[in-house]
Amino acid sequence: MPKKWFQNWFNSPYYHILYHHRDDEEAEFFIDNLCTFLKPTQNSRLLDIACGRGRHSVYLNKKGYDVTGIDLSVSNIRYAKQFENDKLHFFVHDMRYLFYINYFDITFNLFTSFGYFETEKDHVNSLKSFRKSLKKDGLMILDYFNSQKIIKHLNHQEIKHVDGIDFSINKNVTDGKIIKSIAFEHRNKDYAFKEEVKAFTFADFERMFASSGFKIINYFGNYALEEFDELKSDRLIFICKKADA
């Protein structure tokens, strides 16, 4: 079976070259605000789903929390494992499948690390796995881009020059997905990758949360946790509670 786009792209070193500007300062600002709002206890167990190279996990752990990070990318987890300690662990794992039961106090799915799959069933199954991993009163934080603003201001074509590589990026919206095609040449070899992320709306999330056993208790429009505005906000950040079974 051919690999999905996210298995190829997230395992590629070029993904990290193109997105090197995603700085730790922004991640830490977001985590600081979430922790101030959520007030997790020092013995809370946290799960970072689709953790990438672990920047959010590492910072949460520095705050004293017991953190587990999971990601589908073998290369990401190999990189993240250098930061492991007694209260920080990383595993290669597909978010669609169960990982621990009734174990975590809070799960995080940050920086649009969702919306990758072909069917809504796969997305709902992922959310069900998140739910099952939580304790009875556990919380899920899901941080997505605001698809409505992105579509309205879509930059269809651009060239990004990074580390001597010219990345040609084309964006369009097809079949309810925001598709980014990335092509470039490096060391006399041509490369082509894709990102295909569902243009989920607030209503889509409401429906999927209801199907998977989550109840929305708060939502925000940016990393400062300010009010969500469908036309202006950069992010769509949900705080959901595990609904009563």
For 126-142, what is each residue's pLDDT tens digit? Answer: 999 999 999 999 999 99
CATH number for the domain harbouring residue 96: 3.40.50.150
Do 188 and 158 reside in the same domain of the chain? yes
Do 9 and 75 reside in the same domain of the chain? yes
Nearest Cα neighbor of 194 from 169, 176, 216, 212 is 169
Do 154 and 138 reside in the same domain of the chain? no
Which has the minimum average pLDDT: 24-28, 120-124, 143-147? 24-28
pLDDT per position as a tens digit, 7-19: 787 778 888 788 7
pLDDT beyond 80 at 39: yes
- Domain that includes residue 168, residue range: 150-196
Q: Is the Cβ–Cβ distance between 67 and 103 less than 8 Å?
A: no
Residues across the chain: 245
Which has the minimum average pLDDT: 13-22, 23-32, 119-128, 211-220? 13-22
Nearest Cα neighbor of 230 from 205, 211, 210, 213 is 205
pLDDT per position as a tens digit, 182-230: 999 999 999 999 989 999 999 999 999 999 999 999 999 999 999 999 9
What value does the mean pLDDT take over residues 173-184? 94
Query: How many Å apart are CA 168 and CA 202, to the nearest integer?
Result: 31
Do 166 and 141 reside in the same domain of the chain? no
Nearest Cα neighbor of 47 from 145, 129, 146 is 129
Do 129 and 207 reside in the same domain of the chain? yes
Do 38 and 13 reside in the same domain of the chain? yes
Do 127 and 187 reside in the same domain of the chain? no
What value does the mean pLDDT take over residues 175-183? 94
Do 79 and 172 reside in the same domain of the chain? no
What value does the mean pLDDT take over residues 78-103? 96
Do 40 and 138 reside in the same domain of the chain? yes
pLDDT at position 21, please? 67
Query: How many Å apart are CA 226 and CA 237, to the nearest integer?
Result: 10
For the entire predicted model, the pTM comes to 0.91
pLDDT at position 232, please? 96
Tokens 């290369």 correspond to what residue? 75
pLDDT at position 193, please? 93
pLDDT beyond 90 at 6: no
Question: What confidence category does residue 85 fall into, taking pLDDT thresholds of 50, 70 and 90?
Answer: very high
Nearest Cα neighbor of 223 from 232, 234, 210 is 234
Question: What confidence category does residue 243 fall into, taking pLDDT thresholds of 50, 70 and 90?
Answer: confident
Do 82 and 161 reside in the same domain of the chain? no
Do 156 and 136 reside in the same domain of the chain? no
pLDDT at position 16, please? 79
pLDDT at position 25, please? 85
Query: How many domains does the structure of the chain reveal?
Result: 2
Do 81 and 175 reside in the same domain of the chain? no
pLDDT at position 2, please? 64
Query: How many Å apart are CA 217 and CA 228, to the nearest integer?
Result: 14
Helices (H) and strands (E) in the chain, counts: 8, 11
Q: Is the Cβ–Cβ distance between 242 and 150 less than 8 Å?
A: no
Asked which of 196, 212, 231 is the last residue of a domain, the reply is: 196
